Structure 1
């Protein structure tokens, strides 16, 4: 079984992002992407720039943001980078002010920044709990609120909040599960309250995605991560580009009557049930076009935990 996370030859750097959406779809729009320095944020920033948007990369590490900005500009896109700790209310207020001063508008927000650590509930300190909740819930709320207050409340816009596969709980990361569930509720509430201003608010819930974020887990988690595809009905992990495509769709005019929803990108993972024998796709089924992994990101990189496994399987 392949992990479907390696970059195909046709998608190497220099080939350009291979979006399924029409060129120029988001031309003239200014879209903020938090957590834009790596993983899903980096991928979606590339696709949005490819579609014509001016992308505003936001994160805490200026060097990572600068690297992604350089990538986007090398590919012919437009991006700017702004360092900000989204957990700081004053910092977020100033960030939105700076974006408006630099670009004059904010059409979209991708609330992607997040993070967590593996731990059973009884071992999580109040400080650890607050750090995860503030990053995955409060920070996203602050960004959305300020975008609404300072621009979207008068001009409309679209917000996409990135959550996670927390349906049925997240044992081992209960702080993240609580925060993500809270973000889904916030998404639904904001969609109702802000509809009067022409603002749509949706969420995307990635399942198990072969993203660089998995490189942040401790070495002892490697065996568990490599076994994940066997728990997914689709029989594989998703790609960053498959999540990015969902984000781009929800930001696009095609989603103009969609608000308050959470779009899952998870290969039916939450539907797995104890007592149901998991019937993974065989090799013939894997080759069918309808379930082939979408590898649109020309700069995608296989997470180290999987790259090592692939090298070992190849005898390297």
Structure 2
């Protein structure tokens, strides 16, 4: 019996990562949930085992993607369970809201380490397993990959950097059959966005008014595009950024 296709999702215990885990599991994937919070990662894996059992158990692990030792430990644990990774979703992320002139550089470094260094560490460390499977990577960009985001300098910088990482890995690793793409969500109904609405950094009225579809995205809508990019249906999609923003970044209305 063939082993199920396996996806490793960082930041997988909440938000878009958790929805990607559920969506892929519902389509027959085996899911490895990796999150800074090990307990919720294991809890989600158990829930997936109840709802979407596959030949091998869904698993949950703790990892700090910004720490090389932690990523190496995750790799060792995953390698004990499978010889290949068919999909890697680099979903781990955080947000820092400060004006540029008051930016805490230690927090700046931490955010860039989680988003950029973490995505690179995961890709590099799991490269042999991705190569064995001729697997696929999906990185998470943002509307911040296209637009300046006042008060979120570190976040916009990190998300813009994800494009360079995605494109360069795509050029280097395409010859090995590893596809690398990114998605750029707009404003999604997640805790990260809701926290911005609560503290006044974001205005829901302004966001909806700026988005041609007139609403926030739901996490499931982002997860569905991630699942497409990992699937055989996207077998010749490579080095691309797919915007999932309800039209926000193409609207040139100034009235």
TM-score (norm 1): 0.75
Deviation at 1:31, TM superposition (A): 0.6
Q: For residues 226 and 42 of structure 1, do their structure 2 counterparts lie closer, same or farther at Cα, with a shift above 3 Å needed?
A: farther
Deviations 1:140-177 (A, max 9, x none): 110011111x3223442100001111112222101011
User: 5, 9, 12: which one pairs with 1:36?
Assistant: 12
Q: Displacement of 1:222 after TM fit?
A: 7.4
The aligned residue for residue 163 of structure 1 is 141
Among candidates 121, 124, 129, match of residue 100 of structure 2: 121
Q: Who is 1:174 aligned against? A: 153
Secondary structure of the residue aligned to 1:74 is: helix
Q: Does the CA-based 8 Å contact 1:117-1:217 persist in structure 2?
A: no
User: What is the CA deviation profile of residues 257-316 of structure 1, one whole-angstrom value per residue up to 9, with x for unaligned ones?
Assistant: 1110001100110123352x4xxxxxxxxxxxxxxxxxxxxxxxxxxxxxxxxxxxxxxx
Classify 1:194/1:223 alpha carbon distance in 2 versus 1 (closer, same or farther; 3 Å): closer
Gaps of 5+ in 1: 1-26, 278-316
Number of the residue aligned with 2:48: 72
CA distance in 1, matches of 2:7, 2:106: 32
The CA distance in 1 between the partners of 2:218 and 2:133, in whole Å, is 34
Structure 2: distance between partners of 1:32 and 1:119: 32
Higher relative contact order (CA 8 A, sep 6+): 1
> Does the residue aligned with 1:195 lie in a helix, a strand or coil?
helix
Runs of 4+ aligned structure 1 residues displaced above 4 Å come to: none
* Ranges in structure 2 where 5+ consecutive residues have no aligned partner: none
Q: Is the 8 A contact 2:197 2:203 kept in 1?
A: no
| TM-score normalised to structure 2 length | 0.92
Distance in 2, matches of 1:251 and 1:139, equals 20
1:221-259 deviation line (CA, Å, top 9, x unaligned) = 276235421111111111111101100000000111111
Q: Which residue in the other structure is 1:92 paired with?
A: 71
Question: What is the SS of the residue equivalent to 2:142?
Answer: coil
Q: Which residue, 235, 238, 243 being the options, matches 2:217? A: 238
RMSD between aligned alpha carbons? 1.7
Compute the displacement of 1:218 (Å).
Answer: 7.4
**How many residues are paired up?**
249
Map of 2:37 onto structure 1: 61
Quote how far apart the aligned CAs of 1:178 are.
0.7
Q: Secondary structure at the match of 2:9?
A: strand
